[in-house]
């Protein structure tokens, strides 16, 4: 069966997310990933999904190492892993300076180093039950877990978009979580992950490459693109990292136009500046047949696990999310 995952979060309510993950399991999806930024608590949602399912893998996409401490993440991960009977995958990332500092009041400093140190702390705590650590960004005098995890090691996937982070993923992670990938960026990421893995004496094929892909299913591709257009404008306008991603994915003039409109606070102009070609290049959009063909193209480019991220113009669109799940099912 073809591998595929689904990423949920944002506007869906907790019970709706559990219903959608249960449907995804019934449809043959390999994994379900819960985002966290604004919305419900991802570990609480995953715990609920764990008790409602039996086979589907469950992961965070991603948990920020800035807004949760490393021991807190380790405790939550071990809890969900136990409830799911060892079906949990811990997705970690740094999040974004424009979110971490103004929204959480936490300094955003040395993100890659903090990510590396968090991984080391979490792995030690899960394996040994206790950790003391002195690093560049994190110091822990002593933390005792007080319970024995179901297993001493939980798979850790790291968020990565650009070469340095992708190579770091190859060095220390069991998997990579990209987002808004093009076919070319998947091919390039494979090379960077392999370089990092080889440098660390690891086999590149042991590092799973996954990517979250915005998904909209419609009567035709233009209609499906209209659903995603405001979100693309927001991500490119608000997040410098995603603006760079879109520029480096072959749309530098578009990325600049969106950014300039966003800085003028002209959200309508930012949305109008997003062409169908950009949306289609970085996601799964169109009719069910077009979506399936696009997923196959990603797999052919080297993406081991395409992870659809159903989007809607309205919050709590359970019906739309379930329709996307059915359309993209393996």
Residue 86 above 80 pLDDT? yes
Do residues 95 and 58 touch, judged by C-beta distance below 8 A?
A: no
Read off the pLDDT of residues 227-262 as tens digits, 9 standing for 90 and up. Answer: 999 999 999 999 999 999 999 999 999 999 999 999
Task: Collapse the DSSP code of 235 into the 3-class scheme (helix H, G, I; strand E, B; otherwise coil) and give the result.
Answer: helix
DSSP 146-208: -S--SSS---EEEE--SHHHHHHHHHH-SEEEEES--HHHHHHHHHHHHHHHHHTT--GGGSE
CA–CA gap between residue 15 and residue 5 (Å, rounded): 19
Burial 30-39 (b: 16+ CB within 10 A, else e): bbbbbbbeeb
Structural domains of the chain, ranges and CATH numbers in brackets: 5-218+287-328 (3.20.20.30), 225-281 (no CATH)
Confidence band of 189 (pLDDT split at 50, 70, 90)? very high
State the pTM of this model. Answer: 0.96
Read off the pLDDT of residues 302-329 as tens digits, 9 standing for 90 and up. Answer: 999 999 999 886 777 899 999 999 999 9
């Amino acid at each position: 069966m073809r591998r595929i995952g689904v990423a949920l979060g944002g506007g869906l309510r907790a019970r709706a997310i559990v219903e959608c993950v249960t449907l995804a399991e019934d449809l043959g999806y390999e994994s379900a990933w819960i985002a966290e930024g604004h919305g419900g608590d991802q570990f609480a949602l995953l715990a609920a999904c764990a008790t409602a399912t039996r086979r589907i893998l469950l992961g965070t996409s991603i948990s920020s190492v800035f807004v949760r401490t490393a021991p807190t993440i380790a405790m939550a991960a071990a809890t969900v892993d136990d409830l799911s009977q060892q079906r949990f995958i811990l997705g970690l990332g740094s999040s974004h300076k424009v979110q971490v500092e103004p929204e959480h009041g936490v300094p955003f400093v040395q993100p890659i180093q903090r990510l590396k140190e968090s991984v080391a702390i979490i792995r030690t705590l899960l394996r040994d039950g206790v950790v003391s650590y002195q690093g560049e960004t994190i110091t822990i005098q002593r933390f005792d877990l007080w319970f024995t995890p179901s297993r001493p090691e939980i798979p850790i996937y790291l968020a990565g978009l650009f070469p340095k982070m992708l190579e770091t993923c190859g060095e220390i992670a069991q998997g990579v979580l990209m987002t808004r990938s093009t076919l070319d960026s998947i091919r390039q990421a494979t090379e960077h992950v392999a370089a990092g893995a080889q440098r660390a004496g690891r086999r590149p094929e042991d590092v799973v490459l996954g990517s979250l892909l915005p998904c909209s299913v419609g009567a035709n591709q233009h209609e499906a693109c209209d659903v995603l257009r405001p979100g693309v404008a927001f991500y490119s306008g608000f997040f410098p990292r995603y603006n760079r991603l879109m520029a480096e994915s072959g749309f530098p003039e578009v990325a600049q136009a969106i950014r300039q409109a966003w800085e003028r606070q002209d959200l309508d102009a930012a949305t109008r500046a997003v062409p169908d070609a950009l949306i289609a290049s970085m996601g799964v959009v169109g009719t069910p047949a077009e979506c399936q063909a696009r997923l196959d193209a990603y797999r052919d480019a080297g993406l081991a696990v395409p992870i659809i991220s159903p989007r809607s113009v309205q919050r709590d669109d359970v019906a739309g999310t379930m329709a996307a799940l059915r359309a993209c099912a393996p």
